[in-house]
Amino acid sequence: MRAVQVRDHGGPEVLGIEEVDVPEPGPGEVRIEVAAAGVNFIDVYFRTGAYPAQLPLVPGVEAAGTVNAVGPDVTALSVGDRVAHALVPGAYAEQQVVAADRLVAVPDEIELETAAAVMLQGMTAHYLSNDAFPLGEGHTALVYAAAGGVGHLLVQLAARRGARVIGTASTDEKLDLARGFGADDVVAYTDVDIVDAVDELTGGEGVDVVYDSVGATTFDASLECLRPRGCLVLYGQSSGPVQPFDPQTLNRKGSLFLTRPSLAHYTSDRGELEQRAADVFGWIAAGELDVRIDRSLPLAEAAEAHRYLEGRSTRGKLLLVP
Ligand code: NDP
């Protein structure tokens, strides 16, 4: 079978496609024929070495597909089952071996490509809006990169929970998309000062929560945008990692809260994983969550996919289709 391999850390050019042996599922595992693999920023961090990983590696931590082999001791899954996962390495491949307890069933009414598009970013939007900071009516949330992969889903789920949403994006097209997904207000944060804009939009109050996926270039402003006792949910770093800072800053700016959450810790329990996936699939099936698949590229174009993501071009989800 074919799989993308990273033999040395580096730029997108290190994503080469190779013929490799078809992997066999061991005890507790199944093999899936990958219908689509999601492309995520975490794949970039493993490719560059920003996150530690052993080489060579097959990138990709999100996929949907059909079970085509079942290992010993697996009773819950059978050949032909439609399944999906997030955070299992090795997805940029025609086939992938996955622990059965990391897979969720994909309902018949959900296409496998759609499932692959929401396992990581959709469940992230779910835990961010439900649990990392449980949004409700009366809250105002600032969502960065509101037309991006997580962003376009988070805007919808925040609005669904009754919050007022201020979305940021860098182009007019993305700002229009963010508005279409339900942002009440949008800010061209590369052109105007986000702190001034939030100040004006909230009558000087500040927002209850900032969902910051951008990191290095936005962190300081994010703290400034919060009302006293507000919460900064720093969940990503698309512009680079945030520098170490003095916790006393949180006191000075109004007894603020800061969390740096990860999907892994919000789906570590099997019941929680199933519930988040079921909610997201249910909303899609009911036509209540709009999943925008921006581009689907062949596996052999993984390098182009990474250039596109890092080049700030994504408006919604990016997929690789073997
Ligand atoms: P996006 O599709 O949102 O793409 C990144 C966006 O960030 C860009 O489109 C751009 O939007 C904005 N951006 C701002 N500055 C830069 C820059 N210097 N380089 C590139 N992009 C920039 O990506 P994802 O939704 O997939 O992921 C966003 C972040 O969230 C990543 O860091 C990812 O690792 C993290 N993440 C964290 C999770 C968690 O559980 N903690 C789970 C999922 C993702 P614009 O042009 O509008 O500014």
Cis status, amide bond into 89, omega within 30 of 0 = no
Nearest 10 degrees: Cα torsion 45, 51, 52, 58: -30
The arithmetic mean of pLDDT across residues 100-122, rounded, is 98
Per-residue model confidence (pLDDT) at position 156: 98
Report the separation in Å between the CA atom of 238 and the middle of ligand 1, taken as the mean of its atom positions.
4
- Residues pairing with 104 in the sheet: 84
Residue pLDDT, tens place only, 19-76:
999 999 999 999 999 999 999 999 999 999 999 999 999 999 999 999 999 999 999 9
Per-residue model confidence (pLDDT) at position 81: 98
- Residue of the CA atom closest to atom 46 of ligand 1: 170
Per-residue model confidence (pLDDT) at position 97: 98
Tokens representing 2?
Answer: 């074919």
Report the separation in Å between the CA atom of 322 and the middle of ligand 1, taken as the mean of its atom positions.
24
Residue 5 contacts residue 295 (beta carbons within 8 Å): no
Residue pLDDT, tens place only, 228-247:
999 999 999 999 999 999 99
- The three-state secondary structure class of 229 is strand
Which residues sit with their C-beta closer than 6 Å to ligand 1?
40-42, 120-121, 124, 145, 147-151, 169-170, 174, 213-214, 217, 235-239, 261-263, 310, 312, 314
pLDDT band per the 50, 70, 90 thresholds, residue 214: very high
pLDDT band per the 50, 70, 90 thresholds, residue 113: very high
In sign, the C-alpha dihedral spanning 190, 196, 200, 202 is positive
Tell whether pTM > 0.85.
Answer: yes
Residue 84 contacts residue 115 (beta carbons within 8 Å): yes
Residue pLDDT, tens place only, 158-198:
999 999 999 999 999 999 999 999 999 999 999 999 999 99
Report the separation in Å between the CA atom of 260 and the middle of ligand 1, taken as the mean of its atom positions.
15
Report the separation in Å between the CA atom of 150 and the middle of ligand 1, taken as the mean of its atom positions.
8
Tokens 């508005």 -> residue: 179
Query: How many whole angstroms separate alpha carbon 191 and alpha carbon 195?
Result: 12
Tokens representing 227?
Answer: 């009302």
How far from the centroid of its chain's Cα atoms is residue 60's Cα? Answer: 12
Percent of the chain with pLDDT over 70: 100
Per-residue model confidence (pLDDT) at position 25: 98
